[in-house]
Structure 1
Amino acid sequence: MTRSIALLGEYTPTFPPHLSTNAAIEHVKSAKGLDINADWISTADINPPLFARYDGIWIAPGSPYKDMDKTLEAIRNARENKIPCFGTCGGFQHMIIEYARNILGFKDAQHTEYDPYASNLFISQLACSLAGREMQLCFEPNSQVADIYGAIAATEQYYCNFGINPDYVDALKQGPMQISGADAEGDIRVIEWPSHPFFIGTLFVPQARSTPAQPHPLVSAFLSAVAAISNS
C-alpha cells in the first residue's frame, strides 16, 4: 500500500533545498524499496483533513511561509498525535515557535521574519549567516538522533540566516523537548520530542548531503517511521 507525506512549504523549483528535498526522498525510496508519495502543499492550503490524507509531514526550508498559524497547528497535531514530523531549516525554526507557544506558554512567541519587533523573539537573525556553510555537530549520546546516525558527531550543510535567539535558550531548556545536537560553539542545532516515533528538527539541511549511494540517515529514518506507523 502506498503511503504519503506532505511537504509543507512554498515550493520553488529553483530553490536548491527544495530540489535536494525531492532528491533525498527518491534516494531513500530507491535504496529501501519504500512506496511513498511526497506532495508539496503550500502552508496556505493546510486544512483539517491533512492528516487523513498523509501519514507524515516534512516542514520544509524556505520561510517565511504563507500561513504561519496553519503551519504551527500542523506541527502541534503531529507532535500530540505521534505522527512522524521532520523539520529542516525553516521547519526547525517553526517547531521551536510551536513548542514555545503551546508547551512553554509564550503565546506571543515569534519569528523575526514575521514580526521583527515582537516582544518574545524566539527566532532571530543569526549574527553570522550559515547559508552555504558546512559545520560539525555533536549529538547527545542517548538521543534518537545519535542512534539514527550511529555516531555522536557529523558534518552537515546549512542554508539559513535565522536561528534560536540566545536570550531564550534557558527558557527552551525548561520543558520536555530534548536538545539533541549542537555545533562547536554549543548553539542548538537539533531538537527531538521524547517518546515520539519521529519528531525531529534540524537547523541544517540534511537532504543537501544525501546521495543515491548514501541516502541521508535522517531522511531514511523519517520515511521508515512513516511506513512503520501507518502499518500499525
Structure 2
Amino acid sequence: MKYIFVTGGVVSSLGKGILTSSLGAILRARGYRVTAIKIDPYVNVDAGTMRPYEHGEVFVTGDGAETDLDIGHYERFLDVDLARGNNLTTGQVYLSVIQKERRGEYLSQTVQVIPHITDEIKERIRRVAKEQEAEIAVVEVGGTVGDIESLPFLEAIRQFQFDEADGDVMYIHLTLVPYLPTSEEFKTKPTQHSVSALRGLGIQADAVVLRSDKLVPEDVRKKVALFTNVRPSEVFTSPTVEFLYEVPLVLEEQGIGRVVEKKLGLEPIQPNLAFWQNAVRKLKHPSEEVTVAFVGKYVKMPDAYLSILEGFRHAGIANDARVNVKWVNAEEVTDLEKAAEALRGVDGVLVGPGFGIRGIEGKILCARYARENRIPYFGICLGLQVAVIEFARNVLGLEGANSTEFDPYTPHPVIDLMPEQLEVEGLGGTMRLGNWPMRIHPETILHRLYGKDLAYERHRHRYEVNPAYVQKLIESGLTVSAVTPGMHGRGEGLVEAIELPDHPFFIGLQAHPELSSRPMRVSPPFHGFIAAALERKRQTKDLAQRLLPDAPQRA
C-alpha cells in the first residue's frame, strides 16, 4: 500500500479537496486502484447536522453516511463509490477510543492522545484502504497547519513514515502564494512559514503546490524550493481555472505525476487523460447553451447544492451544451406573478432539496408555473414533494393539502411520516439514507432515461408521499413512475418518482440522483432534464423565427 498525505497551510479553503481529487484522477489515469480519505478535525461525528451556509452540502455515500462535500469531489474525479470510512472526524475517533476504554480494552493503561488516539487514526486509514483494495490511498488532512484541532492527525500521519517501508509514503503541502498588485510580485513568506511549521511537527514535504490566481513564474518557484527544502521540479502551481476538471490536466502538464511515481517507486506510465481533455473542451467550447432556474433557499451559498451544480456540468458535457444557472430565492416568490417574473426566459426549472418551512410556498408556486406553462421541471427530494403538494391543491382540488413537516394540522397530509418512523429517536434516526432500490414502471419517461426496470439511487429524506393519497393522485393524472419495495416491513411500495405524461418533461425523484452523477457517467435524470431544456429552447427559437423572420436571434 502506498500513501499520499495532503496538508494545507496559510489559510483554509485553498482547494485541498480538489488537489486530492486531481491526484487521484492522475493516478487512476495510470491504471492504479485509488481511494481517497478526508480527515475533518471537527468534533462532530459526521456532517449531518451542520448548516449548509457554514459547511456546504452534506454528501451522502451509498452506505448511508452523511459526509463532507469533498467526498463528492473524490467520487466524481476518481469514478469510484466511497463509503462511511472515507470521511474521518475527530468525533468518530474520540468516540471510538472512549467506547473501547469503557469496554475495558485499555485495562491498566492510561489512555492518551499518543499512542491511543493516533493509533486509532492510523488503523482507520489502513482499514479503509485495505477494504477498498486500493493500491494508493490519498489522504487529505482538513484544516490548516497550526490549527490545534489538527495536531493529533498530523502526528498520526507523521508516524506513517516510520511505520511503512521506505518509498511507500509521500507528503504534499498546498499553500497560498498571494500576488500583490501594488508591488507586482508574488509573496512567498507565508509559504516559507507554513512549510517551516510543518517541519516543526516532524513532516518534511516531498512536494509543494502553490495556490494562486495565476501560474507562479519559475524564479518564484525556485525561491520556494530553496526555502522549503525541495527541488524546483517538486514545486507546482495550482492556478485558478474556469472549470475544476482542468486541474488534473494543469498539474500533470507540470510533471506532478512523474514526481509521485519517483517518490513512491512506481513504474513510469503514460497517463490516459483523454476523457478530461475532451470534457474540458466541451465545457469551454460547447455547441449550445441553455439556462435553467434553480429554486432554493441557500442561493447565496452555491456549495450548499454543489453536487447538483456538478450534475448540470455532467449533463452539459453529455449534451455538448453550456448550462447557465439562474438562482431563484424561493422566499421571494410570494405569488404566481412573481413566479412568472423569476422564471422568465428560463428553459427549465429545478426545485432542489431542503428541510424546513422557509421558502416552501415559493417552491410550490414555481412548480405550478412550470406545470401550467409546460416548462421542463425537475424536482429532487423536496422538489418531488412540493410538486405533489401543488398537484393535490390545484388539480385534485384538495384545499390546504400540505406536508405535515410544514403544517402538522393540514386536512390533507399528502406528504407525511410513515407510522414506523414516529417512534424513532435521535436526529437522523427517522431518515432514509444511502442507496435504496427504485422499481421503475415501463412506458414512463423515467424508464426511457434509465433503460432498466430497477435502479439504485441515494436518499436523504424523512417524509414520504402518503400512500393514502396515491390512488387519488393517479386517478387525477399524476404518474407514479417508480416505487421502492417496502420500508421497515411495509408491504406496499413507497413513491420514488412521479411524472406528468402530458408534459414535455415533468419529473420528481424522492432520491438524490446528483450524488451518483459523474463526469464520465452522467445521472440519467440530469441528462434528460438538460436535453428537454435544450429542446424547449430550440422550439422557442424556431417559433420566434417563424413569427419574426427578420429579427436577430440570440445565440
TM-score (ref. length: structure 2): 0.40
Indicate which of 535, 542, 554 corresponds to 1:228.
535
Report whether the alignment pairs 1:143 with 2:444.
Answer: yes
Alignment match of 2:500 (pick from 184, 190, 193): 193
1:115-130 superposed matches below 5 A:
115-126=407-418, 127-128=420-421, 129-130=430-431
Partner of 2:324, secondary structure, is: strand
Encode CA deviations 1:94-123: one digit per residue, 9 max, x unaligned: 000001001111011011121112221111
Quote the Cα distance in structure 1 between the aligned partners of 2:327 and 2:404. 25
Residue equivalent to 2:349:
57
2:358 to 66, 72, 79: 66
Structure 2 unaligned segments of length 5 or more: list them.
1-287, 422-429, 487-492, 540-555
**Residue of 61, 83, 92 corresponding to 2:375:** 83
How far apart, CA to CA, are the structure 1 residues paired with 2:482 and 2:344? 32
SS in structure 2 of the partner of residue 215 of structure 1:
coil
**Aligned with residue 308 of structure 2, among 21, 41, 48:** 21
Residues 157-203 of structure 1 deviation map (CA, whole Å, 9 limit, x = unaligned): 10111111233223223211111100112111110001211100010
Which is helix-richer, 1 or 2?
A: 2
**Max Rg structure:** 2
Partner of 2:317: 30
> What RMSD in Å do the two structures reach over aligned CA positions?
1.7
Residues 43 and 225 of structure 1: CA distance in aligned 2, closer, same or farther (over 3 Å): same
Structure-1 separation of matches of 2:447 and 2:370? 22
Contact kept, 8 Å, 2:435 with 2:458, in 1: the verdict is yes
Aligned amino acid, residue 478 of structure 2: M
Write the distance in 2 (CA, Å) between the matches of 1:14 and 1:219. 18
1:202–1:115: structure 2 CA closer, same or farther, 3 Å change rule?
same
The answer on whether the counterparts of 2:296 and 2:329 sit within 8 Å (CA) in structure 1 is yes
1:157 aligns to 2:458 (yes or no): yes
Bigger mean CA deviation after superposition, 176-185 or 65-74:
65-74
C-alpha separation in 1, matches of 2:358 and 2:327? 14
Q: How many Å apart are 1:45 and its aligned residue?
A: 2.7
Aligned to 2:484: 183
Which AA in structure 2 matches 1:10? K
SS in 2 for 1:158: strand
Look up the match of 2:390. 98
Higher deviation after alignment, 90-99 or 24-33: 24-33
Contact 1:42/1:66 (<8 A) preserved:
no
- 1:114-133 CA distance string (max 9 Å, x none): 11122211111244434422
If asked which structure has higher relative contact order (CA below 8 Å, sep 6+), I would say 1
TM-score norm. by structure 1 comes to 0.92
SS in 1 for 2:460: coil
Matched with 1:212 is 519
Q: Which residue of 2 aligns with 1:40?
A: 327
Question: Would you say how many aligned residue pairs link Structure 1 and Structure 2?
Answer: 230
Give the stretch that moved more between structures: 126-135 or 91-100.
126-135
Aligned residues: percent identity?
29
Cα separation, 1, equivalents of 2:313 and 2:357: 25
Q: Helix, strand or coil: the match of 1:190? A: strand
Counterparts of 2:345 and 2:331 in 1: how far apart (Å)? 17
SS at match of 2:402: strand
Which of residues 405, 420, 423 is equivalent to 1:113?
A: 405
CA distance in 1, matches of 2:302, 2:290: 24
- Structure 1 residues 218, 153: closer, same or farther in 2, change over 3 A? same
Name the counterpart of 1:8: 295
Q: Is the 8 A contact 2:318 2:527 kept in 1?
A: no
Helix, strand or coil at the partner of 2:475:
coil
The whole-number CA distance in structure 2 between the counterparts of 1:113 and 1:98 is 15
From the superposition, tell whether residues 13 and 37 of structure 1 become closer, same or farther in structure 2 (CA, over 3 Å). closer
Please give the alpha-carbon distance, in whole angstroms, between the structure 1 residues aligned to 2:512 and 2:317: 20
**CA deviation map 1:13-70 (0-9, x unaligned):** 564xx22101111111123221220133210233232232311110100133533333
Structure 2: distance between partners of 1:13 and 1:5:
15
* In 1, Cα distance between equivalents of 2:521 and 2:482: 22
Per the alignment, residue 170 of structure 1 pairs with: 471
